[in-house]
A = this chain, B = another copy of it.
């Protein structure tokens, strides 16, 4: 392992000064083309790479984003955050950013970790997941003026439009509307809903999606709407129990849509007539059982998160220069969200095209439209009674 080449080595070898090499790397436009080419050749020949720590020391930027690795959310859907992390890492690399992960025992401890990482100049922004209303973490970050983006809306009435709070989220309502409409289009009339207890922003949002589709199809009887939905905590066992209740209280049940794959798996276990069941999150479990499921397009979410972050830091840097701040991230040529896609899924048909919602032009948040992955339920040995 021989000594790394430094910027001075390159400068000497190319017969220019350090700063010119630096310019070739950071501000290529101000270097004369022939000089630039000469320097670039030397860089390639010596396999020179700037020393990240030295650069960070000088620029006071780490080009690193911190994200907490959530404690295992026991459910099956825990893997959603892992997939998001994967998409985020992949797209961050394309933009020259690094992802540093950390753990914390709880929200308060997470703030301690924030301090540690910021003070040490380890990271210059955070991505938060699983935020909740009145979350102390976002409050602290805003108060202390640190960059962050959350995956998930702040459900508080006032937070939602807080201009200091950047967020990206998936439009769960649209996802469940699509799932419900698909069931209706397939001929179902009574489409039941197994969701989470009232009170969680995410859960209520999803329920609204199901409900709006039913209402739009002509189901306006409030009592009927009420009986078509049951609430359960997000476990397989509760999902199973919920399915029993639903079948009992709705005689002509045609199909069921669920707020999660965990609930859907539970429902499938008490599904002797093989009613179509739709889950949410498109986890491996749904794929294994042949359940239709709402796919969150985490690649798009990750892209949105990074764009918001880069736009913010660019805006902060340009506060004073007259250059247009609208150009945002320069390295975005590979967008389109194809990166994080799970390809080759056999049961291809898709409804909803995964584009950004109407808020796409709002510089402070982004709502990603999920898409429905339709599958045939083919469960070996799962025969009706």
State whether A49 touches B89 (Cβ < 8 A).
no
Q: Would you call A288 an interface residue if the criterion is a C-beta within 8 Å of the partner chain's C-beta atoms?
A: yes
A213-230 residues at the B interface, CB under 8 angstroms? none
**A103–B93 touching, CB < 8 Å:** yes
**Of residues 279 to 302 in A, which have CB atoms within 8 Å of B's CB atoms?**
284-285, 287-289
Contacts of A241 in B (CB 8 A): 380
Contacts of A71 on B, CB cut-off 8 Å? 86
Tell me the number of copies of this protein.
2
26 example contacts (A-B, Cβ-Cβ < 8 A) are as follows A1-B146, A4-B119, A4-B121, A47-B119, A49-B116, A53-B54, A53-B57, A54-B57, A69-B85, A69-B89, A71-B86, A72-B284, A74-B287, A76-B284, A76-B285, A78-B284, A89-B101, A93-B103, A98-B122, A100-B100, A236-B288, A240-B381, A241-B380, A244-B381, A270-B380, A270-B381
Contact B89 A145 (CB under 8 A): no
Interchain CA distance A54-B379 in the complex, whole Å: 58
Q: How many residues of A contact B (CB 8 A)?
A: 63
A103 CA to B91 CA in the complex, in Å? Answer: 9
A78 to B83, CA, bound (A): 11
The answer to whether B102 and A100 touch across the interface, beta carbons within 8 angstroms, is no
Q: Mark A368-384, 1 if CB is under 8 A from B, else 0.
A: 00000000000111100
